Chains A and B, each alone.
Chain A
Amino acid sequence: MLTGLGFLAASGVGAALRLVAAERWPGGHLGTLAVNVVGAFALGLLVGADATTLTVIGTGGLGAFTTFSAFAADAVGLAGTRIGTRRGRSVGHVVNTLVLGVGAAALGLTISA
């Protein structure tokens, strides 16, 4: 019960903070990139915490803070309205997100180990 309420609160706050970050940067995709990298690092740090903390803060808070759907939408949007006009920007954004995100998660895992 308490875990459920904590989960709802943490995920609500996480999603709202993501919106603030996405609106903070022009274009939105850099804000989403920053959110995903920070969230991946924080979850890496959190691995090894107790089950309740992992559920509330990890699955709930950081899970809702970070997003895969906006990442996909940004990647498609950056490619331009006509297929292939700005494919390089789109590929760059995907590579940046993957390298920085997985790197941040690995760093978090290493620190917490």
Chain B
Amino acid sequence: MSSTGLSPRHLALVAIGGAVGASARWGLLEATAGPDGGAAGPVLLANLVGCGLLGLLLGPTRGGGIGRSARLLAGAGFCGGLTTFSTFAVEVAGALRDGDPSGAIGYTAFSVAGGLAAFLLGRLIGDRINGTPTAGPTTGGAPC
């Protein structure tokens, strides 16, 4: 796939999807905000849900499921906007700074392992829906 094929329309699709996804994350933060500002819970939840949803979207793509526009809007846009790395990194760095290395390591391990597991689970479900095997050849393979 060409890496120079970014049009204003592509950027607009990602911007719209990203704004909607980020708004959902903001709503999650607001809904769960405690008196001291907030906790790691909503960001972790947004990240796991976003990873699972992206897996669901990318799975069928291999079998020619959704097109590039839908992938930009829902994948790079919505899932990218819903999930975040910056807050995660600042939370981990803050825990380390505050002398809580076990909390930092636990949160990191849960986020990464959970995110990867959610992505794989989403991809598995997406492939089942689409009827294509996850581990199959990417090009030119004979259907089995």
Contact of A109 among B3, B25, B97 (CB under 8 A): B97
A8: shortest Cβ distance to chain B, in Å?
A: 5
Q: A11-B81, A12-B19, A26-B3 are in contact. Are A42 and B54 (CB under 8 A)?
A: no
Q: Is the CB of A20 within 8 A of B11?
A: yes
Per-residue contact bits, chain B 69-108, to A (CB 8 Å; 1 contact, 0 not): 0001001110111111111111011101100000010001
Q: Which residues of chain A come closer than 8 Å to B88, judged between CB atoms?
A: 68, 101
Q: Does B135 contact A (CB under 8 A)?
A: yes
Asked if B84 and A72 make an inter-chain contact with CB atoms under 8 angstroms apart, the answer reads no
Asked whether A68 lies within 8 Å of B25 as measured between CB atoms, the reply is no
Report which of A44, A73, A105 forms a contact with B119, defined as CB distance below 8 A.
Answer: A73
Contact A81–B137 (Cβ < 8 Å): yes
State the interface size on chain B (CB cutoff 8 A): 61
CA distance A70 to B47 in the complex (A): 10
Interface residues on A, range: 35 or more
Q: Residue among A14, A71, A72 with the most chain B CB within 10 A?
A: A72
Question: Could you tell me if B90 and A47 are in contact, using CB atoms closer than 8 angstroms?
Answer: yes
Query: Which chain A residues lie closer than 8 Å to B83 at the CB level?
Result: 67-69
| CB proximity of A14 to chain B, nearest CB, Å | 7
User: Which single residue of chain A is at the shortest CB-CB distance from B83?
Assistant: A68
Please measure, in the bound complex, the distance between the C-alpha atom of A7 and the C-alpha atom of B22, giving whole angstroms: 8
Chain B residues with Cβ under 8 A from A108's Cβ?
A: 90
- Whether the pair B86, A72 counts as a contact (CB closer than 8 A) is no
CB distance from B7 to the nearest CB of A (A): 11
Q: Which of B1-32 contact A (CB under 8 A)?
A: 3-6, 10-12, 14-19, 21-23, 25-26, 29
Binding site for A on B (CB under 8 A): 3-6, 10-12, 14-19, 21-23, 25-26, 29, 47, 50-51, 53-55, 58, 72, 75-77, 79-90, 92-94, 96-97, 104, 108, 111-112, 115-116, 118-120, 123, 135-138
